Structure 1
Amino acid sequence: MNPKIALENVGKTFSLARERFVALDDVSLEIADNEFVTVVGPSGCGKSTLLNILAGLEEPDEGRALVDGAEVSGPGPDRGVIFQQYALFPWLTVRGNVEFGLKIAGVPRDERRRRAAHFIDVVGLSEFADVLPKALSGGMRQRCAIARAYAVNPAILLMDEPFGALDALTRVKLQEQLLSAWDRERRTVLFITHDVDEAVYLADRVIVMASRPGRIYDVVGVDLPHPRSEEVRLSPEFTALRNRVWNSVYHQDDERAATAERTS
């Protein structure tokens, strides 16, 4: 079966002042339909650049990005993008924000209302459907952004640290609600994060990136049961996976130094 997403030998370089910065170097990756993949790594490892290329917001200098076998040439309705900043329209209610993309797409009013109500319920905001964003907490605004992305029915969700600005308790709750929504409304998800625990808890697979230049350092399969719960998060299996990913992220320099010493 063909992958839903494929990166083939992708490279990307940026010019910074008088220097050139290699953000991605020869990155290849396949993601299956309805797979939930998280990407974690040190700052500067090209996580967001990778997501932006898949979103069609950046073009690779080398290689190519494919969705359903077709090369990505720009943004498209098959890919919903959610960033750390909520980017809600402040003059529209929760319902208005969720309906906005459907209205632009020409979806009839009754169908817009039905779909918006469904996804507002999926993220637990039914009681706040007629509330403006300024009256919502940060976590509620992000849930509204997720509902808006789901409502236009993209096959793929690209999420760039969507919970990064939230407090720890809200973050855990949103992780659980995101997985609950994913269990009900399957999508292919690529989720960027700095948080190792978050990466393991959400994922079917964790992609660990390395920097200088940005590349795939490790791929960790996460064979934890669904639905995931606090019991899963406290299990020995979770701890073992978390420790492996942690070591891959934070001990890359140690491994490189040991390799250099062995070969010197």
Structure 2
Amino acid sequence: MAGAPMMTQQTLQAAKIAVNGVTKTFTLGRERFVALDNVSLSIAENEFVTVVGPSGCGKSTLLNILAGLEEPSGGSALVDGVPVSGPGPDRGVIFQQYALFPWLSVRKNVEFGLKIAGVPARERRERADYFIEVVGLTEFADALPKALSGGMRQRCAIARAYAVNPAILLMDEPFGALDALTRVKLQEQLLAAWDREKRTVLFITHDVDEAVFLANRVIVMAARPGRIFDVIEVDLPYPRTEQVRLSPEFAAMRNRVWNAVYHQ
């Protein structure tokens, strides 16, 4: 799907996230580097979309543009039909690094964004405790981050993002530094939270199995320059259980995505 056509105005307005002909270039010394080239993508409300591709294909650049951390060199990125002009409370961003405050407890970390927003203390506590329960950290609500495993810290970061009630979650390889078993468990917990809370999710990953297990659709990107190579519908039932992961249908879908990523 390289060189995807520009979207119609109707599509742009209907989509929760709309990326329309986005190009992003960087200058490195005397060299001009094209990170994204004419990328167009539409994501519906409450859809879970994963983006997979080789290093240097512009996955993180695309996410940063949607987060308002980068500006496109050309084209447009819209949320609810409105151009992205910077970070906003409608978009929660979760990176591979946990970015927790080490001197605050799990509960206080989750409450932090609510406190900044001026939410009263009692409501902060109730909302924080609710999302701590959603990610399975109730027993550790008063613990400091140093007492948590890597997977638990990432669950705390997810709870903090959920607590401020963003309509969109932008996740850049949030499980990339974790061991395989922890990663699988967090994938299942993330889907359980998504099913319960319903957010629009854009999830960046290098892992094909992860991309297939989580998504309604997998966006396969190609590098040099970064562009959309294929969009693959994942016709697997939710909830995504271990039984689904071990099924022939999952294996076939994984192989299809793998071939798209590695045989471009």
TM category, shorter: over 0.9
How far apart, in 1, do the equivalents of 2:215 and 2:105 lie? 32
1:128 and 2:140 matched: yes
Q: How many angstroms does 1:16 deviate by?
A: 1.4
Q: Deviations over 1:187-246 (max 9, x none)?
A: 000000000000000000000000010000000001111111000001111111100000
> Distance between the aligned counterparts of 1:214 and 1:226, measured in 2?
31
Deviations 1:128-148 (A, max 9, x none): 000000010000000000000
Aligned length: 252
Partner of 1:245: 257
Pick one of 189, 195, 219 that aligns with 2:207. Answer: 195
Structure 1 position 12 matched with structure 2 position 24: yes
Cα deviation, residue 157, structure 1: 0.1
Instruction: Please report how far the alpha carbon of residue 6 of structure 1 lies from its aligned counterpart in structure 2 after TM superposition.
Output: 0.1
Deviation (angstroms), 1:70: 0.2
**Counterpart pick for 1:223 among 215, 225, 235:** 235
CA deviations on 1:51-78 (whole Å, 9 max, x unpaired) are 0000000000000100000000000000
- The ranges of structure 1 where at least 4 consecutive aligned residues each deviate by more than 4 angstroms after the TM superposition are none
SS in structure 2 of the partner of residue 6 of structure 1? strand
For residues 23 and 145 of structure 1, the distance between their equivalents in structure 2, rounded to whole angstroms, comes to 28
| Distance in structure 1 (CA, Å) of the matches to 2:220 and 2:32 | 23
Distance 2:249 2:231 in 1: 17
Letter paired with 2:220: V
Which letter maps to 1:173?
A: K
Give the Cα–Cα distance (whole angstroms) in 2 for the partners of residues 5 and 64 of structure 1. 11
What pairs up with 1:56-205 in 2 under 5 angstroms?
56-205=68-217
- In structure 2, the residue matched to 1:235 is 247
- Supply the distance in 2 between the matched residues of 1:237 and 1:14 (Cα, whole angstroms): 41
Residues 8-44 of structure 1, C-alpha deviations (whole Å, 9 max, x = no match): 1000001112211100000000000000000000000
Distance 1:64 1:181 in 2: 30
SS at 1:189 equivalent: strand
Aligned residue identity for 2:109: N
The CA RMSD over aligned residues, in Å, is 0.6
In the alignment, residue 228 of structure 1 is paired with which amino acid? Answer: R
SS class of match (1:112): helix
Identify the range of structure 1 (10-19 vs 133-142) with the bigger mean alpha-carbon deviation: 10-19
Question: Tell me, what secondary structure is at the counterpart of 2:220?
Answer: strand
Which of residues 48, 52, 70 in structure 2 aligns to 1:36?
48
Relative to the length of structure 2, the TM-score reads 0.95
Residue 3 of structure 2 is matched in structure 1 by none
Partner Cα separation in structure 2 for residue 183 and residue 72 of structure 1: 26
What CA distance in whole angstroms lies between the structure 1 residues aligned with 2:100 and 2:234? 33
TM-score (norm 1): 0.95
Q: Deviations over 1:81-102 (max 9, x none)?
A: 0000000000000000000000
**Which letter does structure 1 place at the counterpart of 2:27?**
S
Q: Deviations over 1:146-172 (max 9, x none)?
A: 000000000000000000000000000
Residue aligned with 2:143, SS: coil
Counterpart in the other structure of 2:223: 211
Distance in 2 (alpha carbons) for counterparts of 1:146 and 1:66 = 23
Structure-1 separation of matches of 2:190 and 2:117: 25
